[in-house]
């Protein structure tokens, strides 16, 4: 890293900006990387250095950073109609077309769409929808929300309450009524001698026990990411959704699939719920919805919830909830183009084509004695560092192993993400074979460097 000059953009960023989800000692020691532009899957900083962004921005820039079709769609819509809302029975034409398209590409035979500005807001909105629905239907006690430990559903107060991360204790969260079940991570959570099938059965029995303890009549919904993204790319144990969904159906508890990360191709299918063979009652979408070119989220309601919410809203004349920029016409125009780019212009096919090489690269690096597990689905994967492979013992937290690996990657011209003791890769859907090879070459160099330092 070069020395940070007093009046450089890096120094100004550190002086005037407050960072979220950022290791501040690293910023103070290494400075802020200030980016100026991108080309394909690469981004460039103010010093002219080029980085292969193996994190797709933040899981979302799947078509790269300069896609001409997405840029043209944004420019054309700004020229035509640069902004509006979706309140009071008014909505931009592009937003109407997007709603139709989202229901068309969803797994639902019919449904309705409600727009937000992020995945966090979409999850908050879905919870409020369930609370509103139950209140109007005469079941106001039906408010509790079930999620899983290590899940990530967002940072707004309700979404953070669903997020099963220890750091939310710093905010006095979760709010009352948010219950976190066992994370479906067999490698880490399975008991000695317990088969994967037995582990899945234990989690189903836990769900039954929690419903019995809390009372089904008090539970509004169960939220689940098909693959836990910010938990460290954790696919569910085999048969997990097939084990839990009948239990939820028996007790009338809606299953909400949080597809903010998994949706629109990340797992190799359009939706993560299709990858894992279950039909949710609603889908939460964001990130790939606009390929990162506009902040937008959406709640896609299946038939039953659509009908019930419509009836409930008619009883009180409205659904009293929304955001100023909900259904923004520029975002809708970009989303329409992004869906076509992913589904019609070869990006989803490229995810499927690259997946075997991606998994092979992860598997090869997992042979290192300090990598305990590789895991992933489609073009999302993780390598978990361990101090002892046999016992799965993590490194002492004060060593900041994953942060050091990520920093070493940056020095080698690769951007990846540290999560706990894991390094996460979620490359753009436009990656070539050569870029995939470059990604693993640079990651391997960083792993070799850091583990050599730690192991002395």
pLDDT digits (tens, 9 = 90+) for 102-161: 999 999 999 999 999 999 999 999 999 999 999 999 999 999 999 999 999 999 999 999
What's the CATH number where 83 sits? Answer: 3.40.640.10
254 lies in some domain: yes
For the chain, percent of residues with pLDDT exceeding 90: 96
Tokens of 387: 């101090």
The tally of CA atoms less than 13 A away on the side-chain side of residue 362 is 27
Predicted pLDDT of residue 119: 98
Domain ends where: 311, 344, 377? 344
Q: Are residues 98 and 60 in the same domain?
A: no
CA–CA separation, 228 vs 236, rounded Å? 8
Asked if 206 and 181 count as a contact pair (C-beta separation under 8 A), the reply is yes
383 lies in some domain: yes
22 lies in some domain: no
Q: Are residues 154 and 88 in the same domain?
A: yes
94 lies in some domain: yes
Asked if 243 and 233 count as a contact pair (C-beta separation under 8 A), the reply is no
Residue 248: which domain range?
70-344
Q: Are residues 377 and 363 in the same domain?
A: yes
Residue showing tokens 């016409």: 329
Phi, psi of 193 (to 5 degrees): 80, 0
CA–CA separation, 425 vs 438, rounded Å? 13
Q: Are residues 61 and 107 in the same domain?
A: no
Predicted pLDDT of residue 168: 96
Rg from Cα positions in the chain: 22
Block mean pLDDT (10 aa), the chain, length 456: 73 92 89 96 97 98 98 98 96 98 98 98 98 98 98 97 96 97 98 98 98 98 98 97 98 98 98 98 98 98 98 96 97 98 98 98 97 98 96 94 96 96 97 98 97 92
Predicted pLDDT of residue 7: 81
Asked if 338 and 293 count as a contact pair (C-beta separation under 8 A), the reply is yes
Q: Among candidates 227, 219, 275, which has minimal Cα distance to 252?
A: 219
Predicted pLDDT of residue 138: 97
Q: Among candidates 308, 288, 391, 297, which has minimal Cα distance to 129?
A: 308
81 lies in some domain: yes
Domain ends where: 281, 315, 344? 344
269 lies in some domain: yes
Domain ends where: 344, 372, 392? 344
What's the CATH number where 381 sits? Answer: 3.90.1150.10
Predicted pLDDT of residue 321: 97
Predicted pLDDT of residue 2: 52
77 lies in some domain: yes
CA–CA separation, 127 vs 39, rounded Å? 38
Q: Are residues 317 and 359 in the same domain?
A: no
Q: Are residues 40 and 189 in the same domain?
A: no
Q: Are residues 249 and 109 in the same domain?
A: yes
Q: SS3 for 266?
A: coil
Q: SS3 for 114?
A: strand
Q: Are residues 396 and 284 in the same domain?
A: no
Strands (E), 120-263: 144-148, 178-181, 219-224, 255-258
Predicted pLDDT of residue 4: 67
Predicted pLDDT of residue 6: 76
24 lies in some domain: no
127: exposed, middle or buried (C-beta count within 10 Å: 0-12, 13-18, 19+)?
buried
CA–CA separation, 324 vs 346, rounded Å? 34
Q: Are residues 45 and 106 in the same domain?
A: no
Q: Are residues 339 and 224 in the same domain?
A: yes
Predicted pLDDT of residue 3: 59
Q: Domains in the chain: how many in total?
A: 2
Question: Which pTM does this prediction carry?
Answer: 0.96
Q: Are residues 159 and 188 in the same domain?
A: yes
Q: Among candidates 300, 234, 292, 293, which has minimal Cα distance to 271?
A: 300
Q: Are residues 204 and 57 in the same domain?
A: no
| N-term to C-term CA, the chain | 23
């Amino acid at each position: 890293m070069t020395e940070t000059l007093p009046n450089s953009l890096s120094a100004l960023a550190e002086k005037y900006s407050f960072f979220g989800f950022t290791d501040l000692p690293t910023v103070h020691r290494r400075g802020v990387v200030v980016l100026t532009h991108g080309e394909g899957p690469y981004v460039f900083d103010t010093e002219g250095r080029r980085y292969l962004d193996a994190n797709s921005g933040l899981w979302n820039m799947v078509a790269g950073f300069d896609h001409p079709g997405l840029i043209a769609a944004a420019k054309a819509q700004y020229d035509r109609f640069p902004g509006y809302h979706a309140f009071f029975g008014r909505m931009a034409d592009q937003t109407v077309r997007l709603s139709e398209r989202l229901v068309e590409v969803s797994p639902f035979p019919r449904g309705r769409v409600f727009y937000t500005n992020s995945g966090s807001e979409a999850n908050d909105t879905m919870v409020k929808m369930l609370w509103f629905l139950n209140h109007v239907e005469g079941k106001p006690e039906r408010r509790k929300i079930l999620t899983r430990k290590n899940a990530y559903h967002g940072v707004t107060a309700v979404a953070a309450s669903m997020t099963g991360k220890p750091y939310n204790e710093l905010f006095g969260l979760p709010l009352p009524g948010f219950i976190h079940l066992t994370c479906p991570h067999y490698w880490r959570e399975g008991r000695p001698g317990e088969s994967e099938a037995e582990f899945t059965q234990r989690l189903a029995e836990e769900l039954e026990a929690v419903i019995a303890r809390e009372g089904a009549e008090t539970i509004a919904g169960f939220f689940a990411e098909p693959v836990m993204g910010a938990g460290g790319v954790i696919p569910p144990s085999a048969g997990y959704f097939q084990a839990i969904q009948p239990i939820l159906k028996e007790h009338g508890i809606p299953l909400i699939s949080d597809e903010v990360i998994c949706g629109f191709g990340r797992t190799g299918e359009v939706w993560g719920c299709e990858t894992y063979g279950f039909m949710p009652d609603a889908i939460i979408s964001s990130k790939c919805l606009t390929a990162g070119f506009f902040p937008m989220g959406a709640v896609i309601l299946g038939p039953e919830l659509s009908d019930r919410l419509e009836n409930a809203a008619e009883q009180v004349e409205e659904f009293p909830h929304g955001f100023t920029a909900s259904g923004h016409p520029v975002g809708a125009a970009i989303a329409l183009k992004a869906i076509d780019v992913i589904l019609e212009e070869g990006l989803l096919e490229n995810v499927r084509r690259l997946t075997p090489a991606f998994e092979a690269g992860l598997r090869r690096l997992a042979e290192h004695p300090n990598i305990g597990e590789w895991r992933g689905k489609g073009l999302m994967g993780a390598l978990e560092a361990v101090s002892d492979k046999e016992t799965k013992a993590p490194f002492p937290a004060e060593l900041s192993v994953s942060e050091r690996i990520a920093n070493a990657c940056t020095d080698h011209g690769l951007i990846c993400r540290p999560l706990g003791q894991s390094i996460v890769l979620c490359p753009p859907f436009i990656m070539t074979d050569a870029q995939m090879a470059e990604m693993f070459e640079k990651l391997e160099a960083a792993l070799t460097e850091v583990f050599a330092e730690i192991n002395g």
